[in-house]
Amino acid sequence: MACVGTDSPCFIAGDDLYYPLEFQDSEGAAYDLTGATAKMDLRDSVTSPSVTQSMTGGITSALLGQMAFTLTDAETAALLPRTEANKSFAFSVKLTYLDSTEQTILTGSLELEQAATE
Protein backbone atom coordinates (compact mmCIF):
# COMPACT_ATOMS: atom_id res chain seq x y z
CA MET A 1 0.00 0.00 0.00
CA ALA A 2 1.30 3.46 -0.89
CA CYS A 3 1.88 5.94 1.90
CA VAL A 4 0.89 8.93 -0.29
CA GLY A 5 -1.26 9.51 -3.36
CA THR A 6 0.12 8.49 -6.74
CA ASP A 7 -0.46 9.72 -10.28
CA SER A 8 0.95 9.02 -13.76
CA PRO A 9 0.31 12.02 -16.02
CA CYS A 10 1.47 12.12 -19.64
CA PHE A 11 2.48 15.25 -21.59
CA ILE A 12 3.93 16.08 -25.02
CA ALA A 13 7.54 17.24 -25.28
CA GLY A 14 7.75 20.71 -26.80
CA ASP A 15 4.35 21.75 -25.35
CA ASP A 16 3.81 23.91 -22.31
CA LEU A 17 3.11 21.69 -19.31
CA TYR A 18 0.44 22.70 -16.77
CA TYR A 19 -0.22 20.34 -13.86
CA PRO A 20 -2.92 21.49 -11.38
CA LEU A 21 -3.52 19.69 -8.07
CA GLU A 22 -5.97 19.95 -5.20
CA PHE A 23 -5.07 18.51 -1.78
CA GLN A 24 -8.18 17.05 -0.12
CA ASP A 25 -8.94 14.77 2.79
CA SER A 26 -10.63 11.38 2.34
CA GLU A 27 -14.07 13.03 2.41
CA GLY A 28 -13.23 15.53 -0.33
CA ALA A 29 -12.72 18.59 1.88
CA ALA A 30 -9.83 20.84 0.89
CA TYR A 31 -6.86 21.13 3.23
CA ASP A 32 -6.10 24.70 4.30
CA LEU A 33 -2.51 25.31 3.17
CA THR A 34 -2.24 28.87 4.50
CA GLY A 35 1.43 29.64 5.17
CA ALA A 36 2.68 26.45 3.51
CA THR A 37 4.85 26.19 0.42
CA ALA A 38 4.80 23.46 -2.22
CA LYS A 39 7.41 22.16 -4.64
CA MET A 40 7.57 19.52 -7.34
CA ASP A 41 10.77 18.00 -8.71
CA LEU A 42 11.47 15.56 -11.54
CA ARG A 43 14.24 12.95 -11.34
CA ASP A 44 15.38 10.37 -13.89
CA SER A 45 14.45 7.71 -11.33
CA VAL A 46 13.19 7.81 -7.76
CA THR A 47 16.67 6.79 -6.55
CA SER A 48 18.55 9.35 -8.67
CA PRO A 49 20.73 11.53 -6.42
CA SER A 50 20.09 14.72 -8.40
CA VAL A 51 17.02 16.64 -9.53
CA THR A 52 16.60 16.63 -13.32
CA GLN A 53 14.13 19.53 -13.39
CA SER A 54 12.39 21.62 -10.72
CA MET A 55 8.89 22.62 -11.72
CA THR A 56 7.80 26.26 -11.54
CA GLY A 57 4.76 26.99 -9.40
CA GLY A 58 3.32 26.15 -6.04
CA ILE A 59 0.21 26.95 -4.04
CA THR A 60 -2.35 28.96 -6.01
CA SER A 61 -5.22 28.99 -3.48
CA ALA A 62 -4.23 28.10 0.09
CA LEU A 63 -7.79 27.95 1.45
CA LEU A 64 -8.87 25.56 -1.31
CA GLY A 65 -5.72 23.41 -1.11
CA GLN A 66 -4.91 24.17 -4.75
CA MET A 67 -1.51 24.09 -6.45
CA ALA A 68 -0.25 24.28 -10.01
CA PHE A 69 3.13 23.41 -11.49
CA THR A 70 4.41 24.27 -14.96
CA LEU A 71 7.22 23.87 -17.45
CA THR A 72 7.68 25.90 -20.62
CA ASP A 73 7.65 24.35 -24.07
CA ALA A 74 11.45 24.82 -24.23
CA GLU A 75 11.89 23.01 -20.90
CA THR A 76 9.78 20.00 -21.94
CA ALA A 77 11.59 19.83 -25.31
CA ALA A 78 14.97 19.86 -23.53
CA LEU A 79 13.88 16.94 -21.32
CA LEU A 80 13.10 14.75 -24.35
CA PRO A 81 15.32 15.14 -27.43
CA ARG A 82 13.71 14.37 -30.83
CA THR A 83 15.89 11.24 -31.01
CA GLU A 84 13.81 9.66 -28.20
CA ALA A 85 10.12 8.67 -28.47
CA ASN A 86 9.30 8.91 -24.77
CA LYS A 87 10.79 9.12 -21.31
CA SER A 88 9.50 8.70 -17.77
CA PHE A 89 10.51 10.84 -14.81
CA ALA A 90 9.86 10.13 -11.14
CA PHE A 91 8.24 13.02 -9.31
CA SER A 92 6.95 14.02 -5.92
CA VAL A 93 5.08 17.00 -4.49
CA LYS A 94 6.24 18.15 -1.06
CA LEU A 95 4.60 20.65 1.28
CA THR A 96 6.54 22.63 3.88
CA TYR A 97 4.43 24.09 6.68
CA LEU A 98 5.04 27.20 8.80
CA ASP A 99 6.51 25.09 11.62
CA SER A 100 9.08 23.67 9.10
CA THR A 101 7.52 20.20 9.02
CA GLU A 102 7.46 18.60 5.59
CA GLN A 103 4.92 16.28 4.02
CA THR A 104 5.11 14.50 0.67
CA ILE A 105 1.54 14.36 -0.62
CA LEU A 106 1.94 12.89 -4.11
CA THR A 107 4.42 10.71 -5.98
CA GLY A 108 4.36 9.25 -9.41
CA SER A 109 5.81 8.84 -12.84
CA LEU A 110 5.46 11.69 -15.32
CA GLU A 111 5.68 10.60 -18.95
CA LEU A 112 6.84 12.78 -21.83
CA GLU A 113 6.10 11.68 -25.39
CA GLN A 114 6.96 13.02 -28.83
CA ALA A 115 4.34 14.28 -31.26
CA ALA A 116 4.77 14.21 -35.03
CA THR A 117 3.77 17.87 -35.38
CA GLU A 118 6.20 20.45 -34.07
Tens digit of pLDDT for each residue in 81-106? 999 999 999 999 999 999 999 999 99
* Structural contact between residues 31 and 64, judged by C-beta atoms closer than 8 angstroms: no
For the question of whether the overall pTM of this predicted structure is more than 0.85, the answer is yes
Q: What is the CA radius of gyration of the chain?
A: 15
In the prediction, which pLDDT does 3 show?
Answer: 61
Q: Rounded to whole angstroms, how far apart are CA atoms 8 and 88?
A: 9
pLDDT single digits (tens) 38-62: 999 999 999 999 999 999 999 999 9
Distance from C-alpha of 30 to C-alpha of 3, rounded to nearest angstrom: 19
Whether residue 111 contacts residue 9, with contact meaning beta carbons closer than 8 Å, is answered with: yes
